[in-house]
Amino acid sequence: MSTKVSSPPPSSKDPIYSPEADAFGRPEGGSRRKLFTVIFESDTQAGKVFDVSLLFAIIASVLVVMLGSVQSLAEHYQKLFSALEWSFTLLFTVEYIARLSCVERPGRYARSFFGIVDLIAILPTYLAFFFPELMVLINIRLLRLLRVFRILKLTAYFYEYNALGAALAASRRKILVFICTVAIIVVLLGTVMYVVEGTENGFTSIPIAVYWSITTMTTVGFGDIVPKTDLGHAIASIIMLLGWGVLAVPTGIVTAEMTSRRMREDVSSARSCEVCGTPGHRLQARYCQDCGAKLPES
Amino acid sequence: MSTKVSSPPPSSKDPIYSPEADAFGRPEGGSRRKLFTVIFESDTQAGKVFDVSLLFAIIASVLVVMLGSVQSLAEHYQKLFSALEWSFTLLFTVEYIARLSCVERPGRYARSFFGIVDLIAILPTYLAFFFPELMVLINIRLLRLLRVFRILKLTAYFYEYNALGAALAASRRKILVFICTVAIIVVLLGTVMYVVEGTENGFTSIPIAVYWSITTMTTVGFGDIVPKTDLGHAIASIIMLLGWGVLAVPTGIVTAEMTSRRMREDVSSARSCEVCGTPGHRLQARYCQDCGAKLPES
Amino acid sequence: MSTKVSSPPPSSKDPIYSPEADAFGRPEGGSRRKLFTVIFESDTQAGKVFDVSLLFAIIASVLVVMLGSVQSLAEHYQKLFSALEWSFTLLFTVEYIARLSCVERPGRYARSFFGIVDLIAILPTYLAFFFPELMVLINIRLLRLLRVFRILKLTAYFYEYNALGAALAASRRKILVFICTVAIIVVLLGTVMYVVEGTENGFTSIPIAVYWSITTMTTVGFGDIVPKTDLGHAIASIIMLLGWGVLAVPTGIVTAEMTSRRMREDVSSARSCEVCGTPGHRLQARYCQDCGAKLPES
Amino acid sequence: MSTKVSSPPPSSKDPIYSPEADAFGRPEGGSRRKLFTVIFESDTQAGKVFDVSLLFAIIASVLVVMLGSVQSLAEHYQKLFSALEWSFTLLFTVEYIARLSCVERPGRYARSFFGIVDLIAILPTYLAFFFPELMVLINIRLLRLLRVFRILKLTAYFYEYNALGAALAASRRKILVFICTVAIIVVLLGTVMYVVEGTENGFTSIPIAVYWSITTMTTVGFGDIVPKTDLGHAIASIIMLLGWGVLAVPTGIVTAEMTSRRMREDVSSARSCEVCGTPGHRLQARYCQDCGAKLPES
């Protein structure tokens, strides 16, 4: 283990290598070191078992909260649910303390994203003593699931994540410009519909009318508010066709970005000639396309 | 026929060549061989006729079940429907037995995907004696239609299938990551809406609220549950715009994949070498990639 | 004029050149020839005027039928509408006869697509004497609008049409395979929902349930039928997420096709070197990229 | 400052450089010059402050109008809202007069797009004296937001804007052809549904039926009007599947356009010539396209 750790830091594409080791400091050995390996790392047997069981514990606790909100079930299994809820909370509390205790820099962990998530994942149950409605906040726990992406040997998945993220980030500006334009359109159209349809047809205020035009442009169309006048129908038809065309824009932006990345991957996965430097040879290619020289064996 | 069979196994793109011949064993001749040729193969006249009539029989039987579920019709034609239903079932039973009897390894056929589908396609009618509600299961029969894709000389279609499948498979990971993220978002948003709107506005439980936020993000928007509070409207608007942008991601993933494949097809449809026949040379290519021979000027 | 006509047949991208001239036979001259030029051709002043006024007449007559179906208007302007309707019908009848009379082969025109459309565009009004409900068929008239695409100097538009059509045609098979798969999925899911929800929740029959699952997968979501049971909600959620992903497939197919065409256009719009034949030079390029030879001035 | 201005006109991609300077004439100095710099230009500290505060003033005034339309709020804060409204209007009036006074050619400004927007942004409040319902027109003010894109150092954003615009403009014709086809389809389908369902099922007129088929094809699906007959359900199912496929077309058009642009950007970001600096050489290029000089080996 230690050998592996003392090895040069691997590529960012290797999630198995726990970044916490550097961030929070891996204790020098002994029981705390063992604990750290189990809790924060997943390349040992024990680490995997811990992470997977934690994953199921989180999902289970979330399910308990969700089912607990179902009236019919809540009545019958009220005791069971709160019992489960408490046991999960205690479990997570123990885990939280364990995490704090086994890292070199507890403060840094406590202030880290997951540190805060872990804390607010257990707080609600305790606070629910005084403010029962806080019970539902327990679903924040779900955010902990993000952590367990690491377990499932998600090297590639992390990579995909970054790919998706990068594509979206690259389209960031285009999308922002787009959103602004849409926002202006939506408010203007909403105002028009408010004037045309008026309060008696459900468009009780401009904010409601804007909500309606968002519902319509995004093709959600709840149908809780619908135009009733002929002019309203006409405008609504235009909004729908407009939204239809507009829907194509973000798709186009993201797709163009992704396609271009995909292409570059394709190209960069091809081989080049050592003699004339011509790139883009098929993987099975044996001779350069331009100078006929033999290609390096891949 | 036998000559064709003794010929080297054709490419996977040739569905006419019945894989059953190897899987289940083609009998050595006589009536069983004839039966096998008719039932399992479609490159003889009789085989085509059998497959096509089977296709229509399946569709007809499914239609009967569907129409039989329509109250108004069921009352008038009750006898007719059950009569048809029984005749179809007997027909398929006979076919099933025939399939079993004419292959060398009946067990292997019975355990094959289509073997199981064939069985559960006839079981319901018999079981419906004791459990009438099982009647509807007969539509599982529809799965049998998958088989008849073979008939319509669907070489190319199978190819398309594989193309679609490959594109989706290649995007598998991206999509999985995407689904997980969406699942987390949906549960969190559902919880928020449950807190904001509460039971009195139709958000009777967190699962229902999650169902609602799925309805909204996918832009289905049934309208059976709708936000009524101002804050609810605001959050709903955000969810809709979010879902709108999010909708672009899977489209982008699949499209980028398909486009890149399409491009490679375009490229590989470029010039070929006259010496070794290797395709896919760049338009600027001057030497063959495989044998180094000069390429014909394009 | 005649000179232009006697000129070699222009490229398929030139809609101005009336194909009717060959199909129906242009009379040798005299008044019929003049009539033919006005009615069937649009490259003379008179021809343009005729076509444009015809265009407006068609739209106007369609509007009359549409407005005539509005109860409130029908009551007040009943006489006006029927008067207008009759005048339009007589106008189109005269036009139809004129078309028949001025071509060399009336029979061929009468059997042509537009010939039939022209006929069934005037029939309903006459038939409406005996079967008033046929009145609405008059909107078939709308099909005549397809003809006037020619007027608006739509050379390029026809080209776009072909581009769209070609892209869709090329994706024909993929889309067909896709539709078949979707059809099977939809029927199976519909059956499941019928079993789960049952008649009391609005899923009164399997066809209705299939209609519902189509509504849901296409994200239309009318909301006239909605799941009420918990299991129903769960299945509906899956259908929605499924439909969401599935929506990406046809988009991907069409887009990949269009993008690949677009790319080829980009490439083919670049110039090649006359010395070494390297293609893909920018339009402003002055020297070949591979041999440095001067490029032909474009 | 003046030095910067006397510098050669920068590229169209630089919005910081106020085009108004040329359009409306920058006064030769003195207080008017200062005013001009503050109001029309945003590359001085004062200019930025002015623009940003103007941005917030516009948003605030729009919010006031929107909230003022909410019944519950309007009752309580009626006085506050009208007070705010009037102060904003006076503020904008002063600004408008300032703009008019500090430019060399007030008439040209008054007739410019933003000049007109600025005017009709303040008119409604005054007119609302006599016609209260004009109050809502104040939201036209929102259009003024378009101006402030300049502030946020939006060089790149403007560029994105142009990119989006160019892509849409290039697809202009395809989309127009597409819209026409859809319009014809929608009217025909609407008429059919009107005939099939009839007035008693909510399809009270052809225009309404057309409105419904637009609702359906765009997958909005309000659910205020739904088919009730079996035939109606069948046709609706077809419309939905049709609309589903059709939705792919505009997306494909826009995406193909954007992807192709994206690709060209990728290409043009390739190697440049060291002699004349021409960019956009293929990776395999050996000689510059413009000056024929040898390119650096990549």
- Chain A CB contacts of C219 below 8 Å: 219
Closest residue, chain B, to C272 (C-alpha) = B284
Question: Hey, is B189 helix, strand or coil?
Answer: helix
pLDDT of A120-148, one tens digit each? Answer: 888 888 887 787 777 667 677 777 766 65
pLDDT of residue B119: 85
Chains in contact with A, where contact means 3 or more Cβ–Cβ distances below 8 Å, are: B, C, D
pLDDT category, C155, cuts 50, 70, 90? very low
pLDDT of residue A171: 74
pLDDT of residue C270: 53
pLDDT of C207-255, one tens digit each? Answer: 999 999 999 998 999 989 999 998 999 999 989 988 887 778 888 888 8
Name the more confident of C80 and A152.
C80
Comparing A271-280, B48-57, D131-140, D214-223, the range with the smallest average pLDDT is: A271-280
CB contact (8 A) between residue B255 and residue A258: yes
Question: B166 to chain A nearest CA, in Å?
Answer: 15
> D139 and D126 in contact (C-beta within 8 Å)?
no
DSSP B102-137: HSS-HHHHHHSHHHHHHHHHHHHHHHTTT-GGGGGG
Backbone angles phi, psi at A10, to 5 degrees: -75, 175
- Alpha-carbon distance of B13 to B5, in angstroms, equals 16
Closest residue, chain B, to C255 (C-alpha) = B255
> D271 and D296 in contact (C-beta within 8 Å)?
yes
Least CB–CB distance from C286: residue in D174, D240, D290? D290
CB contact (8 A) between residue B207 and residue A67: yes
Closest residue, chain D, to B67 (C-alpha) = D230
DSSP C254-284: HHHHHHHHHHHHHHHTSB--TTT----B-TT
> A149 and A157 in contact (C-beta within 8 Å)?
yes
Backbone angles phi, psi at A287, to 5 degrees: -125, 150
The reported pTM is 0.79
> What are D25-30's contacts with CB under 8 Å, separation 24+?
D25/D103, D25/D104, D25/D105, D25/D108, D26/D103, D26/D104, D27/D102, D27/D103, D27/D104
Closest residue, chain A, to B210 (C-alpha) = A66
Give the mutation candidate from C70, C120, C139 for the D interface (greatest D CB count, under 10 A).
C139
How confident is the model over A227-250, as a mean pLDDT? 87
- Chain B CB contacts of C188 below 8 Å: 139-140, 142-143
Question: C91 to chain A nearest CA, in Å?
Answer: 30
CATH class of D165-269: mainly alpha
Q: Which two tokens stand for residue A261?
A: 């990345």
Specify the length of chain D in residues. Answer: 298
- Chain D CB contacts of A178 below 8 Å: 164
- Chain D CB contacts of A188 below 8 Å: 139-140, 142-143
CB contact (8 A) between residue A290 and residue D284: yes
Secondary structure element (H or E) that encloses residue B144, with its range: none
Q: Which two tokens stand for residue D230?
A: 């079996």
pLDDT at B215 exceeding the cut of 90: yes
- Chain C CB contacts of D187 below 8 Å: 62, 66, 139, 142
pLDDT at C22 exceeding the cut of 90: no
Name the more confident of C189 and A43.
C189
- Averaged confidence pLDDT in chain D: 76
pLDDT of A180-196, one tens digit each? Answer: 778 888 888 888 898 88
Name the more confident of C173 and A246.
A246
pLDDT of residue A72: 84
How confident is the model over A223-244, as a mean pLDDT? 90
pLDDT of residue C287: 64
Closest residue, chain D, to A235 (C-alpha) = D211
> A272 and A296 in contact (C-beta within 8 Å)?
no
Closest residue, chain D, to A245 (C-alpha) = D250
How confident is the model over C188-196, as a mean pLDDT? 87
How many CB atoms lie under 10 A from the CB of residue B282? 18
CB contact (8 A) between residue A149 and residue B180: yes
> A50 and A23 in contact (C-beta within 8 Å)?
no
pLDDT of residue D241: 86
pLDDT at A238 exceeding the cut of 60: yes
Amino acid found at B135: M
Question: A293 to chain C nearest CA, in Å?
Answer: 17
Question: Hey, is B164 helix, strand or coil?
Answer: helix
Least CB–CB distance from C262: residue in D187, D237, D256? D256
pLDDT at B153 exceeding the cut of 60: no
pLDDT of residue A227: 93
Instruction: Delimit the domains of chain B by residue range.
Output: 19-160, 165-269
Name residue, tokens 């009897």: B101
Angle between helical axes of B45-68 and B30-40 (0-180°, round to 10): 60
Question: Hey, is A287 helix, strand or coil?
Answer: strand
How do the pLDDT tens digits run along chain D, 298 residues long?
A: 333 333 344 444 334 445 666 677 777 777 888 888 888 776 778 887 888 788 888 888 888 888 888 888 888 888 898 889 889 889 989 999 998 888 888 888 888 877 888 888 888 888 877 877 776 676 677 777 666 555 544 445 556 666 667 777 777 777 777 777 788 888 888 888 988 898 889 898 889 999 999 999 999 999 899 999 989 999 999 899 888 877 888 888 888 888 887 776 665 555 556 666 555 455 555 666 566 666 665 4
pLDDT of residue B74: 82
pLDDT category, B242, cuts 50, 70, 90? confident
- Chain C CB contacts of D178 below 8 Å: 164
Least CB–CB distance from B241: residue in A214, A254, A295? A214
- Alpha-carbon distance of A215 to A253, in angstroms, equals 22
Interface size B-C, in CB pairs within 8 Å, comes to: 142
How confident is the model over B188-210, as a mean pLDDT? 88
pLDDT category, A212, cuts 50, 70, 90? very high
How confident is the model over B54-83, as a mean pLDDT? 85
pLDDT of residue D11: 41
Question: D191 to chain B nearest CA, in Å?
Answer: 25
> D128 and D136 in contact (C-beta within 8 Å)?
no
Q: What is the CA radius of gyration of chain A?
A: 28
Least CB–CB distance from D284: residue in B221, B223, B284? B284
- Alpha-carbon distance of D288 to D291, in angstroms, equals 6
> D141 and D62 in contact (C-beta within 8 Å)?
yes
How confident is the model over C145-158, as a mean pLDDT? 54
CB contact (8 A) between residue A258 and residue B256: yes
**For chain B, percent of residues with pLDDT exceeding 70:** 70
- Chain A CB contacts of C250 below 8 Å: none
pLDDT of A1-23, one tens digit each? Answer: 333 333 344 444 334 445 666 67
- Alpha-carbon distance of B180 to D231, in angstroms, equals 40
- Averaged confidence pLDDT in chain C: 76
Question: Domain D19-160 carries which CATH code?
Answer: 1.20.120.350
CB contact (8 A) between residue D66 and residue A206: yes
Closest residue, chain A, to C248 (C-alpha) = A251
CB contact (8 A) between residue D139 and residue A256: no
Least CB–CB distance from B255: residue in D222, D255, D284? D255
Amino acid found at D219: T
Give the mutation candidate from B220, B224, B255, B282 for the D interface (greatest D CB count, under 10 A).
B255
Q: Residue C253's closest CA among C161, C142, C157, C176?
A: C176
pLDDT category, B211, cuts 50, 70, 90? very high
Chains in contact with B, where contact means 3 or more Cβ–Cβ distances below 8 Å, are: A, C, D
> D271 and C266 in contact (C-beta within 8 Å)?
no
pLDDT at B273 exceeding the cut of 50: yes
- Alpha-carbon distance of C148 to C146, in angstroms, equals 6
Comparing B145-159, C132-146, C233-247, D60-74, the range with the smallest average pLDDT is: B145-159
- Chain A CB contacts of D261 below 8 Å: 256
pLDDT of residue B16: 43
- Chain B CB contacts of D223 below 8 Å: 222-223
